[in-house]
Amino acid sequence: MADEPLVLGIETSCDETGVGIVRGHTLLADAVASSVDDHARYGGVVPEIASRAHLEAMVPTIQRALKEAGVAASDLDGIAVTAGPGLAGALLVGVSAAKAYAYALGKPLYGVNHLASHICVDQLEHGALPEPTMALLVSGGHSSLLLAPDITSDVRPLGSTIDDAAGEAFDKVARVLGLGFPGGPAVDRHARDGDPKAIRFPRGLTGPRDAPYDFSFSGLKTAVARWVEAQRRDGLDVPVADVAASFQEAVVDVLTRKAIRACKEHGVDHLMIGGGVAANSRLRSLALERCEDAGIVLRVPRRALCTDNGAMVAALGAEMVARNRPSSTWDLPADSSLPVTEVSVPGHSHPHPEEHTHSHDHVHELSKDNLY
């Protein structure tokens, strides 16, 4: 619908430069420039390399998104950007670019939370989110169970990782098995040829007195490393597929078990799963199986929308505009530890950008051709 808010979203929390354009709940463009190959030789993301890659990719990626969506920058109703959490330097590139575009175009600026954006992106796939929404977010940096009565203003953490996040554990186990970086897709691929019951790896924080919704994967990662080390020390072959499948089963067993428990105990009849690890095939299949058994509706976006992307930021930004939430001030910070309870960072009240007197000359290195 033409009267729905048209918002551009910028995501630079880690190693993906994502730019999405959304009209209401409709995705018009999802442009991504990844620097993952630049980090592969180091076995993990190097913050300085990620920040430089964002700088180089930002303007071309925004231009590509505008072209894909078939809109002009002047048509936008707002600019949304991930303000945190994430890598400080990487976030700063995105926030600075968003400020420049918003100011030059005279559009409101919305600094939003990375985790809340991962929840809101499901609206682009399955329509408006039920309220409240129960969300299981699993990625390289986060394993979280969240209850969201209002995705634009009220997100409540029920549980989170106390050590290694699920995605981090995938990366470390992949390194032990010599599968390269990033580890998630590689472990998933090898696990398809393995037996998930071959090795009984531990399930962390699942005892009767343990935190009901928190996660711990550090012990699991260590158990896998020690098992592999013992095999090699005894001169035995390491059955990579079986190790991958058994490790993966331990992770998704804990994730889905706790998510189902949270739904039941909070009276929520649906579960949304997001974040990069939501692309894992076994997590999807086990979650569906357990949700069906419990009478819970499962919502999982397509794989391209599970990993970090600008579409999710634009989706939350569009919802902010639609619900008339306050925009951010020009001193919007990049907050690497932004808590999920802060869905947006409005700051103090200030005049709308259109009330300022300014020209494009104030925005260095962004020519008129770049903006439009």
Q: What pLDDT sits at residue 368? A: 34
CATH architecture of 129-303: 2-Layer Sandwich (3.30)
**Rounded mean pLDDT, 323-328:** 96
Q: What pLDDT sits at residue 371? A: 40
Percent of the chain with pLDDT over 90: 81
**Rounded mean pLDDT, 341-351:** 74
∠ CA 39-10-162, nearest 5°, is 60
What residue spans define the domains of the chain?
6-121+309-371, 129-303
- Measured CA to CA, the distance from residue 108 to residue 353 in angstroms comes to 6
Q: What pLDDT sits at residue 352? A: 47
At 125-157, the pLDDT tens digits run 999 999 999 999 998 888 999 999 999 999 999
Q: Using CB atoms within 10 A of its CB, is residue 202 exposed (0-12), middle (13-18) or buried (19+)?
A: middle
What is the side-by-side strand order in the sheet with 6-11?
Answer: 26-34, 16-23, 6-11, 78-84, 109-113
* Single-letter amino acid, residue 120: C
Instruction: Supply the DSSP string of 304-353, one letter for each residue.
Output: HHHSS-HHHHHHHHHHHHHTT-----TT----TT--TT--B---S----G
Global pTM?
0.89
Q: Are strands 6-11 and 154-160 parallel, antiparallel or unpaired?
A: unpaired
Q: What pLDDT sits at residue 207? A: 73
Residue pair 263/271 in contact (Cβ under 8 Å)? The answer is yes
Q: Are strands 133-138 and 270-274 parallel, antiparallel or unpaired?
A: parallel
For domain 6-121+309-371, the CATH superfamily is: ATPase, nucleotide binding domain (3.30.420.40)
- Measured CA to CA, the distance from residue 171 to residue 331 in angstroms comes to 36
User: Which of 118, 119, 217 is CA-nearest to residue 171?
Assistant: 217
Distant-in-sequence, close-in-space partners of 321: CB < 8 Å, separation ≥ 6: 5, 7, 77, 78, 108, 110
The sign one gets for the Cα dihedral 65, 154, 90, 140 is negative
Residue pair 217/164 in contact (Cβ under 8 Å)? The answer is yes
At 170-225, the pLDDT tens digits run 999 999 999 988 899 999 999 999 999 999 999 988 876 778 999 999 999 999 99
The token pair at 168 is 């981090």
- Measured CA to CA, the distance from residue 16 to residue 2 in angstroms comes to 30
What is the side-by-side strand order in the sheet with 143-150?
Answer: 154-160, 143-150, 133-138, 270-274, 297-299
6-121+309-371 and 129-303 in the same fold: yes
Task: Report helix, strand and coil shares of the chain as percent, to nearest 5.
Answer: 45, 20, 35
Residue pair 18/30 in contact (Cβ under 8 Å)? The answer is yes
DSSP code, position 94 = H
**Rounded mean pLDDT, 304-314:** 95
